[in-house]
Amino acid sequence: MALKFKNSLTGVKEEFTPIQQGKVRLYTCGPTVYNFAHIGNFRAYVFEDLLRRYLKYKGYELTQVMNLTDIDDKTIRDSQAEGISLDAFTQRYKDAFFEDLDTLRIERAEEYPAATDHIPEMVEMIKTLKEKGFAYEVDGNYYYRIDKFDDYGKLANLDRDGMKAGARVASDEYEKDSVSDFALWKAWDEKDGDVYWETELGKGRPGWHIECSAMSMKYLGEHFDIHTGGVDNMFPHHENEIAQSEACTGHKFVNYWLHCEYLIVEGRKMSKSLGNFYTLRDILDKGYSGLAVRYLLLATHYRQQLNFSLKGLDAASAALERYNDFVTNLGEFEGGESDGSAAGVIDKALAGFEEALDDDLNISGALGVVFDFIRDINRLRTEGTLSSAERDKALETIEKFDTVLGFAQEQEQLDDKVEQMIAQRTEAKKNKDFATADRIRDELTAMGIILEDTPQGVRWKRKV
């Protein structure tokens, strides 16, 4: 079956053909590490996780790159407000981001390049753009000349005639009605404090858009398969990435652009500036699991807006419970007398799951198929008309689905974590670091784990 994506560049659903057979190169715009990401941001990353996992399910070898924007207007502003170095400030939010990825069971990309590690690559690109006449300098600032790039506006469908010639914009983010020459390099000024690089372009720092052009091409080559982000990235960020990259290389940058719609709250985009946001941590504190958040964010098609509510989270938790109960009950079932219908149920489910996801990642269709499968196999199990061989086939099928969905509770992983924490506590006690030992025990208690110190060592059990 052919995999199809709706390509934002053409506006139509297209069959997916990678540049190199069997391999996919994917760039996903990553977080600006100036705060804890909110669950609106995570909607985009969960969508990209679905894309990643399904490409692997289809047998593609994948290279995914996600950048970390650790230098821009916002990181500078907020690190200075706190009075700490840019590095120390962004490191805190990088760490939190990776922790949250794990909580949401988002698979790791192959590379996470940080912008501050790639300044020379950005400088090289800007120099090339200047040589080719696409960039110009004003008082140490470098701007991109959008007039010179005939295709400017092709992603965001801009009306070129309406553009103001000669206007310039210094900030990284702006609206379509102020489309203008944008900053590639910003000369140092006082409000940047000690954040600057001395380069051939002078003393300063890069603009946001050049970061993604330079890092994507470094790790994925000048022409790669898929580039994604939230719909708000389409303009100006992705439009500018195309302009920078294609002007530099003289050929096409990316074949397929996929954009994820907003997570909304009472009709408005969830965002930091509106103040209507929840971080993942806020939601965990309310007693919801990371998996419930994953389910909620995943279950709506990525090109549809998703309205966030706690009621929706309750429904997601209930669906997850049904899913995991199915796996547990089936695993414990000894097998009965086959009535011969399981093979048909399994084949239909596998075909339906793929057919739905092949269609531009139609996840609601795919989940419909999975829950029909659960209902049908549950019926065979409770009627005792499922053999042990069919039970095993059904378990294999749900495991296969789970490589894409990532909903199964992993008991073993949890056990490993507990064992590891107990070992750390024993070590702390040996070193007479009782404060750490107590802290670890409190953390374990919060996880519902009870410890017993016995002469044979520490034993643990789960609170029931």
- Spell out, one character per residue from 188 to 227, where the chain touches Zn ion: x when CB under 5 A holds, - when not: ------------------------x---------------
Q: How many helices (H) and strands (E) does the chain have?
A: 14, 17
Q: Report the side by side order of strands in the sheet with 268-269.
A: 268-269, 263-265, 306-307
Radius of gyration of the chain (CA): 25
- Spell out, one character per residue from 249 to 268, where the chain touches ligand AMP: x when CB under 6 A holds, - when not: -----------x-xx-----
| Residue 158 CA, distance from chain mean position | 27
Which residue in the shown chain puts its C-beta closest to ligand AMP?
Answer: 230
Query: Binding partner of residue 184 among Zn ion, ligand AMP, none, CB under 5 to 8 Å per kind?
Result: none
Query: Binding partner of residue 263 among Zn ion, ligand AMP, none, CB under 5 to 8 Å per kind?
Result: ligand AMP
Whether 226 and 256 have beta carbons less than 8 Å apart is answered as yes
Which of 3, 9, 26, 29 contacts Zn ion by CB under 5 A? 29
Distance CA 31, CA 37 (A): 7
The residues near 348 (Cβ < 8 Å, ≥ 6 apart) are 373
In DSSP terms, 264 is beta-bridged to 269, 307
The CA–CA distances, whole Å, from 402 to 40, 46, 296, 321, 407 equal 23, 14, 16, 14, 6
Whether 280 and 37 have beta carbons less than 8 Å apart is answered as yes
Q: Rule CB under 6 A: is residue 238 a binding residue for ligand AMP?
A: no
Give the residue with the Cβ less far from ligand AMP, 305 or 338.
305
Query: Binding partner of residue 180 among Zn ion, ligand AMP, none, CB under 5 to 8 Å per kind?
Result: none
Q: Rule CB under 5 A: is residue 68 a binding residue for Zn ion?
A: no
- Stretch near Zn ion under the rule CB under 5 A, chosen from 25-33, 82-90, 157-165, 438-446: 25-33
Whether 321 and 329 have beta carbons less than 8 Å apart is answered as no
Query: Binding partner of residue 219 among Zn ion, ligand AMP, none, CB under 5 to 8 Å per kind?
Result: none
Residue 303 CB, nearest distance to Zn ion (Å)? Answer: 19
The CA–CA distances, whole Å, from 290 to 100, 270, 285, 317 equal 9, 19, 11, 10
Residue 162 CB, nearest distance to ligand AMP (Å)? Answer: 25
- At 38 the three-state DSSP class reads strand
Q: Rule CB under 6 A: is residue 233 a binding residue for ligand AMP?
A: yes
- Spell out, one character per residue from 267 to 296, where the chain touches ligand AMP: x when CB under 6 A holds, - when not: --xxx-------------------------
Distance CA 69, CA 33 (A): 6
Residue 111 CB, nearest distance to ligand AMP (Å)? Answer: 17
Query: Binding partner of residue 262 among Zn ion, ligand AMP, none, CB under 5 to 8 Å per kind?
Result: ligand AMP
Site of interaction with ligand AMP (CB under 6 A): 29, 31-32, 40-41, 43-44, 229-230, 232-233, 260, 262-263, 269-271
